Structure 1
């Protein structure tokens, strides 16, 4: 909401939330009409874009209603809880002639955008490894899985900083940064309703690079205070939400290693470092830190609608991310035991 209020391209005119108190308070911040049923909002309001930010399990039925009403759609990540549901969303929107944009918001963070430009220029040579992890928390009791109305029991799930709800960003971002799709994947992810475990994924990109993800927010961090970073942007990590403008002991970061150098991308802290044979130096960034990337994202979609062009990040990106997640989950049942040699 803060980011959308900054936009000169769109105006928030209506908002729907099942919780009338929360919805009313949010709507009041921008003078919007408040609803508790999206169908009532669709019937009453002359809308151009509907942004679907609800839990993933609810999105297919809402997309169906919005597409039938003829409005453009921006759907948050992950697009759905299954690849099949995401493909049905695409089919519904195509049949209705409705543009569908996928909220791959990391593509609009200044640090990632600049890192991608440097990689394309050859600043670190050929990309050979991309990695990210979130390890920390305050012990097992400090974490909680997202509820079944978010991720239905038995399917993909876990915590807000786990492989699904957070890692889906990186699955998309790794391929985008390296300009190469993921061609194979393996690992282990938490299932909704099951005991929480450490999650990981190994991704093989078509260009030969490897992606590595590792998530565990039910332990304690090992970073020392001096290893942190001043965070200019609002951010989320294993300890929860940080409003920005403060020191973070262990801010989130993405590492990209190449044949001639490496990048450390503090995506929310709004900082980028390049290391090569000449040493380590900080790279200047254009644009504002999070949450402004949400403004950039909605502005880009509005511009696409005005020009009649297809969304730059369409349904295919969301479907691909879910396909990779499903491959990771499928691989977990094929772990090979190592027999004792004694």
Structure 2
């Protein structure tokens, strides 16, 4: 697979490191407006550095391009690449509006190219393990979940995150990870209710979301930009026969407690995931490349990505109005 990278910031470098060590993959080029960043990504991946992405495409003829530019530029690059007949792996969220996300999906389908959106949380071992345990009935019927995602504000060259018109803010950029995962867990959302602090007043951006699903399940999400500690993710999924907990600050990967275990007066069953040889971003992009080669459907589809955008936008509307927002259906 001949692949190139456009955008060599934090995520572009992550792709460069992973693609550079992936068997059967040749990173032919890395492009960024900042020459030094393009060169750093080229050094990590074995590709050639460019400051002009179109020149890179003309010179290297990649089959697939990883789009790691800021969110507000996703649509522009995805559509231009699709019209060149190039498959696309694009960072999340798909776009800042549902209309743009749907247009990206439509044009890629019309051009006969594959579009993948990097909702990488589905590839984190503990999150994937939790889904497997829920679907195998380990905790009975899952009815309630709580997700937390806390981190510092992006710094340095990533200050575009601070402009909601470019990043979508904490809900669209950070919390969309857990929005997508909650939808993967529980299905379509019936209504949302959200609140968020004003970072211009508080100096932090903290959001709380309640998602009510058509299945009757409820998920509560919190997201925090400006957290003073290490990046932290947590979740708890509760069923009628037990619960699953995860905390990234703990050594153990997963904590599974079941009513059956309690009835036998046993301690909670600790089920750690095996240490992974590669990080989840490696597994994600490897999966997408395999889907291009085989024609199979990915773990996270473009319709899933559109749904996550739709739910995130409804949450932002609720936070602005202070009222619950009903969902109109799926975003496929």
Task: Give the aligned partner of residue 86 of structure 1.
Answer: 101
Return closer, same or farther for 1:219/1:109 CA change in 2, 3 Å cut-off.
closer
Give 1:235's aligned residue: none
More helix by share: 2
Which consecutive residues of structure 2, in runs of 5 or more, have no partner in the other structure? 1-15, 262-266, 324-332
Query: 2-side partners of 1:194 and 1:88: how far apart?
Result: 36
**2: CA distance, partners of 1:31 / 1:89:** 30
Cα distance in structure 1, aligned partners of 2:293 and 2:134: 31
Cα gap change, 1:167 to 1:135, in 2 (>3 Å): closer
Between stretches 149-158 and 278-287, larger displacement belongs to: 149-158
The reply on whether 1:183 has 2:174 as its aligned counterpart is no
> How far does the alpha carbon of each residue in 1:41-93 deviate from its partner, in whole angstroms, 9 at most, with x for none?
12111212111111101111111111111111111111111111111111221
Among 285, 299, 303, the alignment partner of 2:286 is 299
Equivalent residue in structure 2 for 1:128, among 138, 143, 151: 143
Aligned partners of 1:10 and 1:299 also within 8 Å? no
Within 1, Cα distance between the matches of 2:76 and 2:91?
A: 14
The 1:310–1:106 alpha-carbon spacing in structure 2 relative to 1, beyond 3 Å, is same
- Verify: 1:157 aligned to 2:168, yes or no: yes
8 Å CA contact 2:142–2:238 kept in 1: the answer is yes
Match of 1:231 in 2: none
SS in 2 for 1:296: helix
- 1:23 corresponds to: 38
- Counterpart for residue 327 of structure 2: none
TM-score using structure 1 length: 0.78
Identify if the C-alpha distance between structure 1 residues 144 and 28 changes in structure 2 by more than 3 Å, giving closer, same or farther: closer
**Which secondary structure does the structure 2 equivalent of 1:309 belong to?**
coil
Q: Alpha-carbon deviation of 1:98?
A: 0.8
Shift of 1:334: 3.5
8 Å CA contact 1:155, 1:192 repeated in 2:
no
> 1:285 — aligned with what?
273
Paired with 1:101 and 1:192, the residues of 2 have a C-alpha distance of 32
Residue 288 of structure 1 deviates from its aligned partner by: 0.9
Residue 143 of structure 1: how far off its partner (Å): 7.9
CA gap 1:319/1:194 in 2 versus in 1, 3 angstroms: farther
Higher relative contact order (CA closer than 8 Å, sequence separation 6+): 1
Structure 1: distance between partners of 2:285 and 2:252:
20
CA distance, structure 2, for counterparts of residue 171 and residue 184 of structure 1? 13
Please, which of 72, 76, 81 is the counterpart of residue 66 of structure 1? 81
| 1:178-234: CA deviation from partner (whole Å, max 9, x where unpaired) | 4x22222120346898875431111012221111112334465xxxxxxxxxxxxxx
Compared CA separation, residues 215 and 29, structure 1 to 2 (3 A): closer
Is the 1:274–1:282 contact (alpha carbons within 8 Å) kept by the matching residues of 2? yes
- So what's the TM-score if we normalise by structure 2? 0.80
Q: Partners of 1:198 and 1:44 in 2: how far apart?
A: 45
Q: Distance in 2 between matches of 1:147 and 1:218?
A: 14
* Unaligned 5+ runs, structure 1: 221-237, 241-250, 337-342
How many residues align? The count is: 300
- Give, in whole Å, the separation in 2 of the partners of 1:3 and 1:143: 22
